[in-house]
Chains A and B, each alone.
Chain A
Amino acid sequence: MPGRAAAGRIRKAIALINAVEDGAGDEEITPTEIAEAIRDCLELSEVDGVPNVRRYLGEALDAVSDGMPADFVAMTLYAALGALQEGNVGGSLN
């Protein structure tokens, strides 16, 4: 299924942000790690196959660099995930 790897990597980045927000308290997550997770998504060529995914990921990366609130970064990543899912209508990325 095209997009599955990208969806997995976006979910990983979101999970890191959620771990910070929910204070699971079992690890220290830095903005650098979140940025790395987003860069991992951008490295996949499949993000170019669906409109807007690369743009949202780029915005999320900028948001991390600019120190924007975690929820803003998460929202932008959810937008990327949504765009990816819309680009794969008919298949499930779950």
Chain B
Amino acid sequence: MYEGEEKVKVRRDMFCSQPVFRLGMAMMLSCAVAACLTGASASWASTKSSAKSPSKFAGPMQEWNWDTAGDNPGAHAVLPDAIKAFQVKYPHVTVVNTSMSLGEQVDKLPLAFASASSTPMVSQVNQGFSSMGRLVTDGELLPLNSYAKKYSWLATIGSASFQNDSFTSNGKNFGAGNIYAIPSTADEMGIFYNKKLLSEVGGKTPTSWAGFTQDMRLLHQHGKIAMAFGSGQPSDYNPVNAFDMIANQFVSAAKGTAWAYHLGAHPSIDTAGYITAAKTMQSWAKDGYLSPGYAGLSSATAISQFAAGKAGFLIEGNWEDGSVTQLGSNVGFWVPAVTTGGPDEGWAIPTHSSNPALAVAWINEQLVPQIQMDQLKQGNIPLVKPSAAALAKVSPLMQEAVNGWFRDSSRNQVVPFLADAPPSSFLNAQFSGIQELLAGQSASSVLSSWQSAYEAYWANGA
């Protein structure tokens, strides 16, 4: 046993002997007993009633999330309401909120979760090998299977929603094993379009990939920017998201999902479908469809360009709904029949959380109807399907996003983000590989290098 392992063990031992831990365990036990007595069911009423007595929780509760105004404006807007509602329900608890970017999460969580003194009580954790995989490997997250069962979370939002938040206990296999986080909203890639620009060039609202590419051609022919795109800044997600979206049009959802979760015999990304997708992306760059100077623009600039009405299309996630509101009724969101996405970052409980029972109460609260409705109002897709009446009250943009999610997810046509697959360096490889692709590198060589790294992981790392 090396030093790192010893430290974790010692810290765990020290922590387990603390009164607060024993109190937390007692609370969890009483939660379990209460859940058994009341009987778990799929209804909202049971979810609410299973929460513990408010008076039993007191003190500060640290929760960490990625809901920054820049990265996730909709969820950022919901946070104050969620915190207020929780503090009303648990009047002796003060929620201490910390929001950070995805990059900060990747850097910070593994070290912060290693110690009881630096870990929050509950935190959102990104899916995939580079984030959740590391935390699970090091035993830094509590498996939530029993809580999910006790609080009816599986029934409430559907068991399929948990695959992206599942890992085997050794952290080696994604999409199987224990549940380590509970999501409350969904993320889905789609194509934002500018109705006014499309009508100016004689284009139509996209309903098919062929129609969409025809619209791009029209926009370009009329001297407009067909696709807002930026790949020039560190850690730009826009090109990665766009590649995933294009790939879905040439590769079946089943194959894409199998590659991400390493299912079946010899899953591969070095196939004709993915190569066609890569060549399509290259042709967009070569034909001048992408934002001029895209190689020196950030994703944020590309989004701003679209929001300012300067581009016809933008491939991005529904979480950018809040970033394009200035287009008003001129903006639409088309979700193709196969898309990329999955549940948003779920809420996880660090192993060293000082009060797992309170953390469970917080997670439970994120799934109550009021917060789910707030998520919808602020531009997020709630994992609990809203009623037709509730949906009618939100913007057409949101209606398209929500309908697209429930349609595609119910048919298993939502493919996980490719970057969630191993090895943990795959996201960096995707960032640099797409830049090489757009600069003229052959599609097959880029995909071949990705596949080699993937196979090396499964040959040596798994």
A, B co-complexed: no
A residues within 8 Å of B by Cβ?
A: none
B residues within 8 Å of A by Cβ?
A: none
